[in-house]
Chains A and B, each alone.
Chain A
Amino acid sequence: MKQDDFPQGSITVIKGRSIVIKGDDIDTDRIIPARFLKCVSFSALGEQVFADDRKELKGSHPFDLDQNKGANILVVNDNFGCGSSREHAPQALMRWGIRLIVGESFAEIFFGNCLSLGIPCITTSKQEITKFQNLVNKNPNQIWDFNLKELSISNQKESFIVKLDEGAYKMLYSGKWDATSQLLDEEETIKNTVNKLPYLNHFNKQI
C-alpha cells in the first residue's frame, strides 16, 4: 500500500466492505504480538496484524479469508485495543487496509492512537453490533457507507446510528486530527507555562 493511500485531511465519508473480529477485551498484544515491535519503522506491520491468532487458525482467520481481502471497515466488540499503548496496533490495522473501526467500546489509548492516524473508532450498542456483524458475515460483499455528519453507517437496506466523541468528531471533520501543527501554534503560551511551573524554576515560584 502506498503512503498516499493513508487517511488524509477531512474524514467525512468512508466507503467499503466490512470485516468482523468477534470477542471482548481483544488486547494490543493480540493485534500485534510484541516480537513484531522490534522495528524502527512501521512499514512491515500490515502483514503481521493478528499474527498469532492467524497462525493458530491456519488460514481461516477473518484477516486471511479471500472474501475479506480489501475490506476497510473493521467491526469489533467490547473494550477493543486494551493493554499496551503500542501505536503499532492501529498502524498494523491501517497498513492492512482498515480505515474505520466500529465496536461496542474502545480502550482509551487505542482510541487516541487511531484518531491520530485519522481512523475513526465509532460505537453503538451490543445488540446493534451483533446485528451488524451478522449482516456482514452473511454477505461480506456488501458495501457500507459511513457518514460522519450523520453519524451513520448504512448499506442500501440497513442503517445504523453510531456515536463518536465530540472532540474526535471535530478533529476528523476539520481534518486537524494530526495535532502537531496545532500544538506548535501555541509556542508563546508554552514558553509562559515553562516560566511559571515551580519545578522548572527551582521552586522559587508558587502557584
Chain B
Amino acid sequence: MHQVKELPGGSTQLFVGLHLIHEVTSPQAFSALSEKNLGVKFPNLTVATVDHIVPTSNQQRPFSDPLAEEMLTTLEKNCQSHGIKFHGIGSNSQGIVHVIAPELGLTQPGMTVACGDSHTSTHGAFGAIAFGIGTSQVRDVLASQSLAMKKLKVRRIWVDGSLSKGVYAKDLILHIIRLLGVKGGVGFAYEFAGPAIEKLSMEGRMTICNMAIEGGARCGYINPDKTTFEYLKGREYSPKGQEWDNAINWWKSLVSDSEAKYDDEIQLDGSSIEPTVTWGITPGQGISIKEKIPNPEMLPENEQQIAKDACKYMNLEPDQPIEGTLIDVCFIGSCTNGRLSDLQEASDIVKGHRVATGIRAFVVPGSQKVAKEAKNKGIDKIFLKAGFEWREPGCSMCLAMNPDKLEGRQISASSSNRNFKGRQGSANGRTLLMSPAMVAAAAINGKVTDVRKFLKE
C-alpha cells in the first residue's frame, strides 16, 4: 500500500505518511536540499518540534547556550521557509517528538512514520510502521516523501498472563531485551502480542515499542484495538464524525489475523516477570531486583568481555545484589517514560515520602501537554513536596544535550532508555535503567529498591 516501487537489490521505495523532525538531525538535511536546489515535496506531511537541546529550567529566549539557540533558530527558519508546522517553545504542544505525535493524534494505525531518531519505533504501538532514519534519509523524505527501505522479517513476541503489581511495561521490555540480546532484533520488526500486551494502556505499549530498537529491532508493532481507538478519539488530529467511523473500519481491517505466518515466534509469561534494573553499559544487561550482578566468568563466552567492561566501568562487584546499590541522581522523564501515566505511577510511590538526603531528583515531563495534565492532577505538587525538582519538557538527561547532566562518576537511577558509557552527559557517569516507579523508590531510599515494598503499605 505504501510501496512506490521495487528498487534494484531487494529494497523498496516506501512512501512516508508522517514525517517527524527535530532540531538535531534535520539542519544538515535542509542544507543538503538547498545545495541540490530541491524543495520540500509535501510540507503538510512533515511535523516539527524541538526537544533534545531545550533547557528544562528556563526556557526564555534566547537560550543561554548559544549553540542550542542556533539549532532552534535554524529549525524555525527551515520550517518557516518550507511551510512546515512547528510545535515550538511556547506553543503549548511542544515536547519530545515521540510524545507529542501520539498525543496530538498525528500517529495513527496503518501509517508509515519516519523520523531522524531511532526511537521512532515508539509509534508502532498504534499499529503503524514506524522507524528511525539517518539525516540523508531525512533529506530524501523531505525531497520525495519516500525512502529506500529493506524489507524486515517479523518476530512475534507473545506475552501470556498479566504483569504483577509493581511490574510495568518498562520491566517487561527490559526483560525481553535481556532475553533476546541487544542485537537479537537486527533485521527484524518486533510485533508484541498476547494477553499481557492487550491489557497494557497505550502509554505502556509505547514504552514497549520505544525500546524495540534497544533490542536491535528497527520497528516495534502492536495490533490496533479498542484501547488504541479510545486513546485516539477526540485528539486534535484524529479523524472526526463520519471520517472517524470510516477510519475505525479501515483500522480494524489492518489487524494481522491469527493465521499470520511469522519469521520467528517466541512466547513468554508476563506474570513471572519482576521489577528489572540494568547494571551494565548496554540495555541488555538487566537483571531482576532480586538477582545478583552476574559474574562475567559464569556468562556465555560471547557476553563475558562486555560484562567485564561493564563491571569495571560501573564499579559494581560481581555476585553482589543489585538491590541496595547507592545512587546519586534520579531522573524521571524521556520518550520511554515521560508520559502522564509514568508520572502518575511514580508520584503514587512518592506521595507522603521525602527524597533521601544528598540525592538530586528531578522530573521532566515529556511534553507541555503532559506537564499541564500533571499539574491539573496535582502531580507536580506531590513531587515538589517530596523534594523533587519539577522541570519544563524536553529530552533532558536522557542524552544530556542540554544543561542537565551527570557529573563525574555520579550514578543515576533513570527512567530513560540507554545506559551507554557517557550517555547522561559525564564521560564516566553511570546509569541504571528502570521503571519510573522504581526510580521514585530509589529516590526515597537513596539506593536501588524493590518498588513493591512501597506498594504493600
Chain A residues packing against B (C-beta within 8 Å): 23-25, 27, 29-30, 33-35, 37-42, 52, 55-56, 78-79, 82-88, 90-91, 105, 107-109, 112-113, 116-117, 165-171, 174, 178-180, 182-184, 186-187, 189-190, 193-194, 196-200, 202-204, 206-207
Contacts and interface: CB of A to CB of B under 8 A. Distances in A.
Interface stretch (B91-99, B143-151, B163-171, B337-345): B143-151
Interface in B380-423: 399-401, 418, 420-423
Contacts of B218: 108-109
Contacts of A56: 427-428
B427 A55 contact: yes
Residue among A33, A108, A189 with most chain B CB within 10 A: A108
B31 to A, nearest CB: 7
6 contacts: A34-B399, A82-B216, A87-B28, A107-B186, A198-B246, A198-B250
A82 B110 CA distance: 27
Contact of A167 (B11, B45, B67, B428): B11
Contacts, number: 214
Interface stretch (B68-76, B321-329, B448-456): B68-76
Given A24-B306, A113-B134, A180-B144, A197 B15 contact: yes
A76 B111 CA distance: 37
Given A30-B421, A108-B218, A190 B11 contact: no
A197 B17 contact: yes
A206 B253 CA distance: 10
Nearest to A126: B302
Contacts of B418: 27, 29, 83-84
B20 to A, nearest CB: 12
B15 A193 contact: yes
Given A33-B427, A39-B67, A168-B9, A180 B143 contact: yes
B239 A184 contact: no
B239 to A, nearest CB: 6
Given A38-B68, A108-B218, A186-B146, A29 B420 contact: yes
A109 B305 contact: no
Nearest to B422: A52
B133 interface: yes
Contacts of B55: none
A24 B25 contact: no
A30 B31 contact: no
Contacts of B24: 37, 86
B150 A167 contact: yes
Contact of A40 (B71, B116, B239, B305): B71
Given A33-B422, A85-B120, A199-B17, 6 more contacts: A24-B302, A116-B137, A165-B9, A165-B150, A167-B11, A180-B139
Residue among B13, B53, B253 with most chain A CB within 10 A: B13
B1 A179 contact: no
A167 B10 contact: yes
Contacts of B148: 179, 182-183
Contacts of B425: 34-35
Interface in B33-65: 36, 38, 41-42, 45, 52-53, 65
B162 interface: no
Interface string B10-30: 110101010000001101100
Given A40-B71, A109-B132, A117-B136, A29 B401 contact: no
A83 B31 contact: no
A11 B24 CA distance: 29
Nearest to B75: A40
A123 B120 CA distance: 27
Contact of B25 (A27, A78, A85): A85
B53 A38 contact: yes
A197 B112 CA distance: 11
Interface residues of B, number: 81
Contacts of A42: 28
B9 A166 contact: yes
Contacts of B421: 29-30, 52
Nearest to A172: B9
Top 7 nearest A-B pairs (CB, nearest first) are A167-B9, A113-B134, A116-B136, A203-B246, A170-B9, A87-B134, A87-B135
A187 B423 CA distance: 41
Residue among A38, A171, A200 with most chain B CB within 10 A: A38
A33 B440 CA distance: 28
B8 interface: yes
B25 A87 contact: yes
Contacts of B216: 79, 82, 107-108
B200 interface: no
Given A180-B144, A183-B148, A199-B111, A40 B28 contact: yes
B15 A30 contact: no
Contacts of A86: 24-25, 134
B186 A108 contact: yes
B102 to A, nearest CB: 15
B243 interface: yes
A25 B420 CA distance: 10
A40 B4 contact: no
Contact of A38 (B11, B67, B108, B135): B67
A186 B13 contact: yes
Contact of A170 (B8, B116, B305, B427): B8
A44 B400 CA distance: 20
Contacts of B306: 23-25
B113 to A, nearest CB: 11
Contacts of A35: 400-401, 425
A206 B136 contact: no
B7 interface: yes
Contacts of B28: 40-42, 87
Contacts of B363: none
Interface in B208-245: 216, 218, 239, 243
A187 B38 CA distance: 13
Contacts of A180: 36, 38, 139-140, 143-144
A4 to B, nearest CB: 14
